[in-house]
Amino acid sequence: MLSSYAPVISAEKAYHEQLSVAEITNSAFEPSSMMAKCDPRHGKYMACCLMYRGDVVPKDVNAAVATIKTKRTIQFVDWSLEKDYEEVGAESAEGEDGYEEDE
């Protein structure tokens, strides 16, 4: 589990600068924002939780996350299933070999 904090800027800059949601989101994934010394670009994320504070619109957050996913500089684990839920349910009702068990 990795933690990051973004943006990491001085109080003077924070008072004068106005960062966009995309800039804040991108900086959260930068190695310099991580609370541990590692480069997350060498692995894949299983899950991610971003918390924003202030005047932030969900539409802007969704757009920023979509941009990160599209660029592919940050990798996420592919969670798509090879089987659909009906097949999985049918297999669990049958025996392990795929045949119904006799009682």
Work out how many domains the chain is built from and give that number. Answer: 1
> Is residue 58, in this structure, part of any structural domain at all?
yes
pLDDT tens digits along 3-47:
888 888 888 887 888 889 999 999 988 888 888 887 777 888 888
> Is residue 36, in this structure, part of any structural domain at all?
yes
> Is residue 6, in this structure, part of any structural domain at all?
no
> Is residue 45, in this structure, part of any structural domain at all?
yes
Q: Report pLDDT for 43.
A: 81
Q: Report pLDDT for 95.
A: 55
pTM greater than the 0.75 cutoff: no
Residue-range definition of the domain harbouring residue 62: 11-93
Give the dihedral sign, CA 32/38/44/46: negative
pLDDT tens digits along 56-76:
999 999 999 999 888 877 888
How far is it, in rounded angstroms, from Cα 18 to Cα 28? Answer: 16
The distance of Cα 34 from the centroid of its chain, to the nearest Å, equals 15
> Is residue 99, in this structure, part of any structural domain at all?
no
